[in-house]
Amino acid sequence: MRKQRALGHLCRHIKACCHCSLHESTAQALCGEGNADASLFFIAQAPGETEEKVGHMFMGPTGRVVDQLFQSVHLSREEVYMTNLIKCRLPGNRKPKMVEIESCGFYLDREIEIVKPRLLVPMGYCATRYLLERYGLTHTPAKEQIGRLYVSGSFLIYPVRHPSALLHNPSLREELFRDFERIPHLCGGALNLPDHISH
């Protein structure tokens, strides 16, 4: 309940935020959602057009991929926490600028502090880069970060591809579903992946 209240308070700040120019072009900022006590925490890049319209995480075609991924490992949306690195929609779904990441990253940091998850799963390049830089884990080249497990204090970071990548490149499906298969084991503490662990 305390965590839920803290997230609600943070969400009110996000909805009223004008720390970067994205607030001028977005219809609404999107807060994280799901279980405030979750041990599993997903981070996407930013809301897309449908998410912005509906006001929820992972809607439309990307949402259908996420639901299939969750179903494949017997997870429900209610069990996990889901959020974005950037809370306002990026015009034309472009990559976020450094100034936008620097302005908005504070909210993600706060969400992690409040939820205190066991496993952080950044989806795609921008969320992965932010988290690895934030926790001083930048020793692996970008192309080797997906599917690798990082340990930082009391939690783990496990980057995967962004589900929307499958919409443009269906050949990535097998890799993404295979990487997802490991999530329940990692979340349960079975760190049985010595060749993929980085400190």
Q: Does 86 bind ligand SF4 (CB under 6 A)?
A: yes
Which of 33, 41, 63 is closest to 187 using CA atoms?
41
Q: Does 99 bind ligand SF4 (CB under 6 A)?
A: no
Q: Does 104 bind ligand SF4 (CB under 6 A)?
A: yes
CB of 103: closest distance to ligand SF4 in angstroms? 4
Q: Does 103 bind ligand SF4 (CB under 6 A)?
A: yes
Own/partner contacts of 151-156, CB < 8 Å, gap of 24 or more, are: 151/197, 151/198, 151/199, 154/116, 154/118, 155/116, 155/117, 155/118, 155/119, 155/120, 156/118, 156/119, 156/120, 156/186, 156/191
Whichever of 81 and 180 has its CB closer to ligand SF4, that residue is 81
CB of 30: closest distance to ligand SF4 in angstroms? 9
Candidates 10, 11, 20, 157: give the one binding ligand SF4 (CB under 6 A): 20
Q: Does 87 bind ligand SF4 (CB under 6 A)?
A: yes
Candidates 14, 59, 126, 165: give the one binding ligand SF4 (CB under 6 A): 14
Candidates 11, 22, 85, 115: give the one binding ligand SF4 (CB under 6 A): 22
Q: Does 17 bind ligand SF4 (CB under 6 A)?
A: yes
Which of 168, 158, 154, 149 is closest to 62 using CA atoms?
168
Stretch that binds ligand SF4, among 12-20, 31-39, 47-55, 185-193 (CB under 6 A): 12-20
Q: Does 69 bind ligand SF4 (CB under 6 A)?
A: no
The sheet with strand 119-122 has its strands ordered as: 33-34, 81-84, 40-44, 119-122, 155-157, 149-152, 197-198
Q: Does 84 bind ligand SF4 (CB under 6 A)?
A: no
The size of the interface with ligand SF4 (CB under 6 A), counted in residues, is: 14
Residue 112: HSE in the Cβ half-sphere, 13 Å Cα cutoff: 22
Candidates 19, 64, 129, 196: give the one binding ligand SF4 (CB under 6 A): 19
